[in-house]
Amino acid sequence: MANYSYLMVPESVDKAITAAVKEFAEGRKERYDIWRHGLPIWIVSERADKRVNQVQIEAVIKPGKSVAEPLEQQVVFTPGAYEDERAYEEKTALNAITRKVPSAEDVHKAGEGEFLSLAEAEDKEKVKDKLTSSLQKASKLPLEETLPPIQYATPFQ
Amino acid sequence: MADWYFHYTSQVAAQMIRASGWIWGSSDRVVYLTDELYGTHGDAADFLGIPVVGPAVGTQFGMVQLTKPVEMVCCIPRQLLNSSPLYGPYLAAPFWDNSTGRLIYKGGGREFRYPDPIRVAGLPWVSLVQP
The rounded distance, in Å, linking the Cα atoms of A136 and A128 is 12
The pLDDT assigned to B46 comes to 93
Neighbours of A112 (CB within 10 A): 9
Is the Cβ pair B54, A39 closer than 8 Å? Answer: yes
Is the Cβ pair B35, A154 closer than 8 Å? Answer: yes
* Phi, psi of B130, deg, nearest 5: -85, 140
Interface contact A79, partner B, CB < 8 A: no
pTM, two decimal places = 0.85
Q: State the best of A31, A97, A150 to mutate against chain B, taking most chain B CBs within 10 Å.
A: A150
The pLDDT assigned to A49 comes to 81
- Listed range (A23-32, A116-125, B17-26, B89-98) with the worst mean pLDDT: A23-32
The pLDDT assigned to B34 comes to 95
Which residues partner with A74 through β-bridges?
A60, A117
DSSP collapsed to 3 states, B13-75: HHHHHHHHCEECCCCCCCEEEECCCCCEHHHHHHHHCCCCEEEEEEECCEEEEEECCCCEEEE
Residues A52 and A102: beta-carbon distance below 8 Å: no
Give the tens place of pLDDT for each residue, B18-53. Answer: 999 999 876 666 888 999 999 898 999 999 998 877
The rounded distance, in Å, linking the Cα atoms of A115 and A60 is 10
Residues B98 and A55: beta-carbon distance below 8 Å: no
Give the tens place of pLDDT for each residue, A17-51. Answer: 989 988 888 866 656 666 666 678 888 888 888 89
Give me the residue spans of the domains in chain B.
4-127
Among A37, A106, A107, select the one facing B51 at the smallest CB separation.
Answer: A37
The pLDDT assigned to B54 comes to 66
Q: Is the bond preceding residue A63 a cis peptide, omega within 30 degrees?
A: no
Among B27, B36, B56, select the one facing A7 at the smallest CB separation.
Answer: B56
Residues in A touching B55 (Cβ below 8 Å):
5-8, 39-40
The rounded distance, in Å, linking the Cα atoms of A94 and A152 is 6
E strands, chain A, are 5-6, 41-48, 51-62, 72-89, 94-101, 115-117, 145-146, 150-153
Q: How many residues does chain A have?
A: 157
* Separation in Å, CA of A56 to nearest CA in chain B: 8
Q: Is the predicted pLDDT of residue B115 greater than 90, yes or no?
A: no
Give me the residue spans of the domains in chain A.
5-82+103-141
A26 class by beta-carbon count within 10 Å (0-12 exposed, 13-18 middle, 19+ buried): exposed
Mean pLDDT of B86-102: 90
Regarding the domain delimited by B4-127, which CATH topology (the fold level of the hierarchy) does it fall under? ADP-ribosylation fold (3.20.170)
Residues B7 and B37: beta-carbon distance below 8 Å: no
Q: Is the predicted pLDDT of residue A2 greater than 90, yes or no?
A: no
Among B13, B55, B97, select the one facing A5 at the smallest CB separation.
Answer: B55
| Residue type at position A134 | S
* Phi, psi of A10, deg, nearest 5: -60, 155
**Three-state DSSP class for A1?**
coil
Residues B70 and B7: beta-carbon distance below 8 Å: no
| Residue type at position B19 | A
Q: State the best of A14, A32, A33, A35 to mutate against chain B, taking most chain B CBs within 10 Å.
A: A35
Query: Residue A108 — very low, low, confident or very high, per pLDDT cuts 50/70/90?
Result: very high
Neighbours of A41 (CB within 10 A): 20
Query: Residue B66 — very low, low, confident or very high, per pLDDT cuts 50/70/90?
Result: low
Neighbours of B11 (CB within 10 A): 12
Among A5, A104, A108, select the one facing B56 at the smallest CB separation.
Answer: A5
Chain A residue nearest residue B102, CA to CA = A104
Mean pLDDT of A97-105: 96
The pLDDT assigned to B50 comes to 85
